[in-house]
Amino acid sequence: MRVQTYNKIYYFAPLIMTKTLFNIPGEPENADWQQCRLTMEVGRHLFSYAVTGHDNRLLRLRSYEMENGSIRDLADGLDEVISNDPVLREEMNETVVMYNFPESQFVPEEYFDINLDRDWLDLLQGDCTKGTILSEKIPGWKQYNVFRVPGEIHPLFQRRFTNGKYWHYYSLLLKCNREKFHDKKESLQVIFYPDCILTTAVDSKGLQLLQRFPYQTAEDVCYYLLNVCAQLGLNASTVPLGLSGMLDESSAVYNEMFKYFGGIRLEEAPAAAAIPGMEAYPPHFFSPILKLASCVS
């Protein structure tokens, strides 16, 4: 008897690694989802969303850490999260997606030309990343934001949320802090993410810096912020320094900063965001997405 053997090729789905950082359910059983707004923040290593009612009262808050390496894995991980999270399958009155990816370029209004979007990004940010290029007028500013959403992430959200409105995180940050950035009072504001900090700096001329810096150690963070102060002539020991995001008050980063900065304060979440379960977490964890969610419309 003749036995034939065949080579077999096995295909394995990528291991999608996500971790729930926090999940605050509020009172979803009382929610009329069709009267609610869903606000999502999508970044390289973090996906968060907040559901607010018509009165801006917070109803649900959840954040996932995305641990995969490639953009393809990130898209697969986001697709899996959306598929398995029942709240994200509800039909909302309004859906807002905030893309928080680093390839973003502000262009003065008088120089903006939509036909040059790709040229702006490729020239100033490089052309190694493939993806969807979008642009938008920043409300209240004479600036446009031209940005790239990597890989298949934008088509994924368009497919999953057909009524979605799409913004870059930086645009909404400028919109929601317009008065603060225009009042020309010296300040630093730092939002912490698992792999980087997002920093804004204001001096006597107004907003001077909006930039993210990667970090691994406490010394990295202090070095970047001290360098910003030196470049802008800000006094590190007195300049107000607002901190928010994924920053543990017992961490080496937080304690190291007190060696150099005297005006440190932790940001508070909006009053309307007080819901059961939130008291278990520091409010500065949630203040960035909740502040933007409250002024996004």
For every residue of 208-238, DSSP letters joined together read: EEEEEEE-SSHHHHHHHHHHHHHHHT--TTT
In the structure encoding, which two tokens stand for residue 35, read together? 């009267």
Strand partners, 187: 202
- Give the per-residue pLDDT at 20: 86
Q: Is the dihedral of CA 181, 184, 185, 190 positive or negative?
A: positive
In the structure encoding, which two tokens stand for residue 4, read together? 């034939």
Nearest CA to 228 out of 187, 174, 262 is that of 187
Cα–Cα distance measured from residue 260 to residue 271, given in angstroms and rounded to the nearest whole number: 31
Assign 255 to helix, strand or coil: helix
Nearest CA to 97 out of 172, 190, 35 is that of 172
In the structure encoding, which two tokens stand for residue 193, read together? 């993410």
Cβ atoms of 243 and 265 within 8 Å: the answer is yes
Place of tokens 């680093």: 102
Cα–Cα distance measured from residue 168 to residue 217, given in angstroms and rounded to the nearest whole number: 27
Rounded to the nearest 5°, which phi and psi values hold at 251? -80, 160
- Give the per-residue pLDDT at 27: 64
Q: Is the dihedral of CA 245, 246, 247, 249 positive or negative?
A: positive
Cα–Cα distance measured from residue 187 to residue 229, given in angstroms and rounded to the nearest whole number: 10
Q: Is 266 exposed, middle or buried (0-12, 13-18, 19+ CB in 10 A)?
A: middle
Neighbours of 185 (CB within 10 A): 13
In the structure encoding, which two tokens stand for residue 16, read together? 């999608």
In the structure encoding, which two tokens stand for residue 218, read together? 């406490």
- Give the per-residue pLDDT at 7: 45
- Give the per-residue pLDDT at 272: 62
Kindly list the domain boundaries of the chain, sorted by start residue: 9-176+269-297, 184-266
Q: How far is CA 183 from the centre of its chain?
A: 24
What CA–CA distances, in Å, run from 129 to 33, 78, 99, 116, 215?
36, 19, 15, 17, 21
Assign a CATH topology to domain 9-176+269-297: Nucleotidyltransferase; domain 5 (3.30.420)
In the structure encoding, which two tokens stand for residue 225, read together? 């912020």
Q: Could you confirm whether domain 184-266 is CATH 3.30.420.260?
A: yes
DSSP character for 106? E
Per-residue pLDDT of the chain (297 residues; tens, 9 = 90+): 333 433 444 434 445 568 888 888 776 566 788 899 999 999 999 999 999 888 878 889 999 998 767 888 999 999 999 999 999 999 999 999 999 999 999 999 999 999 999 998 888 887 778 899 999 999 999 999 999 999 899 999 999 999 999 999 999 999 999 888 888 899 999 999 988 999 999 999 999 999 999 999 999 999 999 999 999 999 999 999 999 999 999 999 999 999 999 999 999 887 666 677 777 888 899 889 988 988 886
Cβ atoms of 283 and 275 within 8 Å: the answer is no
Q: 9-176+269-297 and 184-266 share one CATH topology?
A: yes
DSSP character for 53? -
